[in-house]
Amino acid sequence: MQHCGRYIGRLVAAWPTLALVLVACGGTVGSRADDDPAEEPGEGEESAGGGEGDGPSAGGAGGNPVTSLACRRPQVGPSRWRRLTATQYQATVKDLLGVAFDTKTFLLDGKTGPFGTNADNAAQPLEVKKYHDAAESIAGLARQNVRGFLDCDAKAAGDDVCAGRFVDTVAARAWRRPVTADERKALLAVFAVGKEQSYEDGIRLMVEAVLQAPSFLYVVEVGEPSPQKDGSRRLTGYEIAARLSYLLWGTMPDAELVQAARDARLATRDGVREAAKRLMESERFLFAAQSFHRQLVDADVIARGGLVTKDAARYPQWNDALKAAMLREVDAYVAHGFSQAD
């Protein structure tokens, strides 16, 4: 336990450097590294890096865990569609609609090493059904307070105006990018079906559609042509914003980060660093950091019933209260490392 604590301490101290390395290293999707290792990519080729699971994974073995990361000319392979983890899904729904949804019925996420990620975990038919059921349940709860997530008065502005505003704001936030003209048309057609019952039901059906779309369930990275015109592609500002937000907050980008993407401020290293710094200064970053370290030492296994058992006669103090205290200890250690440790 003492050795584990020292290792966690080194990781805590390295987090700020690690995060900036991950978001500042440049590269283009499908590009190859040049032979000269000292050459660095030019402006506008940034890739936010990482973002595979509920927090970044550190490279290197022993000593400073970030010493083996070189921010030079990395090889950037194909970009995969990473399905949201249960934790990310839950946090995104809460931020998007204000609905607290429990994902305990979802199947367990896949893992890469100790970290939860669905990057290589294809959705199974049962999971698709669970996503459908979840969307229906969440939409039903959201219907009860449409004004809570959609700033539009249907009585004053009109049902169709508010439906359009839903597409341009709520759907765009859910999909972490602007909605295309064809998507807008399709969502408004869904609204028209529900509107036959009521305005609220039209919104409810759109919420169901939005939450079941691949652009919501996956962190989609298509990219855009690189300025080098060599056939490679680079991440768009919206894709960088999503990587940053899910890496450092475990949820979708907030309004300020979306605006930074819209203004092309994430097209430069300085812009990405500035955005990352802001996210890391937020209290929400601490939750993501605690989740990362819980996964690192596999502490969450304690909370999953039945996975860790003890002989009650030999270990009479092994109970739910002790398990909760052990998890709080890990979280408190990480919080101390970020707030008070040198």
Report the percent of the chain where pLDDT is more than 70. Answer: 75
- DSSP class of residue 81 equals P
Q: What is the mean pLDDT of residues 232-248?
A: 94
Q: What is the mean pLDDT of residues 139-147?
A: 97
Rounded CA separation 242/252 (Å): 6
Q: Show the CA angle centred on residue 44, arms to residues 240 and 281, nearest 5°.
A: 45
Side-chain-facing half-sphere of 178: CA atoms under 13 Å = 8
Q: What is the mean pLDDT of residues 110-122?
A: 84
Q: Comparing C-alpha atoms, which of 25, 13, 113 is closest to residue 63?
A: 13
DSSP-derived secondary structure for 165-220: HHIIIIIHHHHTSPPPHHHHHHHHHHHHHHHTT-HHHHHHHHHHHHHHSHHHHEE-
Q: Look at residue 226 in the predicted model and tell me its pLDDT.
A: 84
pLDDT tens profile 28-50: 444 433 333 333 333 434 333 44
Q: Look at residue 297 in the predicted model and tell me its pLDDT.
A: 85
Question: pTM value?
Answer: 0.77
Residue 303 CA, chain-centre distance (Å), reads 22
Model confidence at 324: pLDDT above 70: yes
Q: Could you tell me the two tokens for 226?
A: 């690189």
- DSSP class of residue 171 equals I
